[in-house]
Amino acid sequence: MKNQKLEISIDFESVNIYREMGEDKDPLHVVYWTEDEWLEDAELVVPAMLQAINLYHINQVLLLKTLGLEAYILFNNNDLSFELEKIQEFDTPLITKAFDDNLDNPFAIDVEDSSYWYPTEKERDEDFETLKLVLSPPTVEQWNS
């Protein structure tokens, strides 16, 4: 899967998982907890914090999906990122891999009536796996991986 470019900061006062959004822009705070929150509601905050840290390390796409931040999932193909909300509206979209060696970008993901083209098989396959994860409900195996 594509690197989601998330950062993590853990110190004695807070846990912050975020993405820098560029110069002169505030970062996107995926999760942020302060020491006061830990002390105030430890039974709720600590397990959520541990799960978020775990997902940060093993599956950042699943972390973003779990938090309802699908719009911030990064794909290699920007058109796929832009049209993700439309794709999510299909009941069960038909998604396949394709190849056409007559094109400069010969590798594709076909979603219903749209195609998303890639210069390399690796980029296409990364997006295919990310898209499958985004469109499927989370499973126990995903949580425990």
Q: In angstroms, rounded to a whole number, what is the distance separating the alpha carbons of residues 41 and 24?
A: 34
Contact (Cβ atoms closer than 8 angstroms) between residue 71 and residue 86: no
What is the signed CA dihedral for 42, 4, 97, 134, rounded to 10 degrees? 30
Residues 104 and 50 in one domain: no
Residues 46 and 87 in one domain: no
- What is the number of domains present in the chain? 2
From 87, 62, 67, 61, select the one nearest 2 (Cα to Cα). 61
Q: What is the DSSP letter of 71?
A: G
Q: What is the DSSP letter of 136?
A: S
Residues 82 and 66 in one domain: no
Domain boundary among 16, 46, 71: 71
The amino acid at residue 13 is E
Q: In angstroms, rounded to a whole number, what is the distance separating the alpha carbons of residues 69 and 88?
A: 13
The answer to whether position 143 is within a domain reads: no
Count of CA atoms in the C-beta half-sphere (13 A) of 26: 3
- Take residue 101 and report the two structure tokens written for it: 């060696």
Sheet of strand 14-19: strand arrangement? 7-10, 14-19, 28-34
The answer to whether position 142 is within a domain reads: no
| pLDDT tens, residue by residue, 76-118 | 999 998 999 899 888 888 899 999 999 999 999 999 889 999 9
Q: If the chain, 145 residues long, is cut into consecutive pieces of 10 residues, what is the mean pLDDT of each piece?
A: 88 95 91 93 93 95 92 92 90 90 96 95 95 76 44
Which residues span the domain enclosing 120?
Answer: 76-137
Three-class SS of residue 121?
helix
The predicted structure's pLDDT at residue 90: 87
Domain boundary among 38, 71, 104: 71
Global confidence as pTM: 0.79
